[in-house]
Structure 1
């Protein structure tokens, strides 16, 4: 990043080194390699089917809840975004968090979309290869409990 620093001035390295700050992330690179090895032990087609099945299970269950409005659902995209009529998205997410269910709440860096939809934000549930049907069932039960409370 820097070739020389003195009271007279500073000389920066040539590109691209000029923008490399400090020690390379060796631990991160090793962790990435291990993650890729772990992921490659599975069939990517099977993983996609698994994630799609979890998302569909959650969608089908959320669709049955009168107070929940699904904002975003694209089959196979691994996420579902939703709101609850008259309830702030962060309040709903907090109730889920208190039941040990992790979701994201907010505008998701999509302010123009939220404006177009007429909402301040949404709750987003994401599904991945390490989730199970039981995780989805717990998520749905937690949403149902939150709906009952609110």
Structure 2
């Protein structure tokens, strides 16, 4: 009898963990969301690397002036940003809810979701301007006449 119970539990859905109650919602955790671990890591890296790394690179070439900033940036990245990023990834993967609703687990940590949402909104505004400039120069670089090559000092 125990053999039929285990086979029925394992045959409910392919690639899901449906054994036992779920603490974080009614949906089962689906392991078929990504085809393999490489796809998952590509998704995480693509969400971390954006146009800002390319945009700020010329400013970081002069390290003699930026060493104090880089030290503080690395310290806060290691102590605050990376743990919070992985915590949001883990909570989001387990609860399968959006940024604000996933923190219903701990109402005290609900401010974290609103702070992350505000940071995303404030970051999206200047990045859309950088993306618009990039698109503008990309389109105009395909023309035969390039206006920035024929600039004369007045």
- TM-score category of the 2 structures, normalised to the smaller one: under 0.3
Instruction: Choose between structure 1 and 2 for higher RCO, CA contacts under 8 A separated by at least 6 residues.
Output: 1
TM-score computed with the length of structure 2 as normaliser = 0.26
Computing the radius of gyration from Cα coordinates, the structure with the larger value is: 2
**Bigger fraction of residues in strand:** 1
TM-score computed with the length of structure 1 as normaliser = 0.26
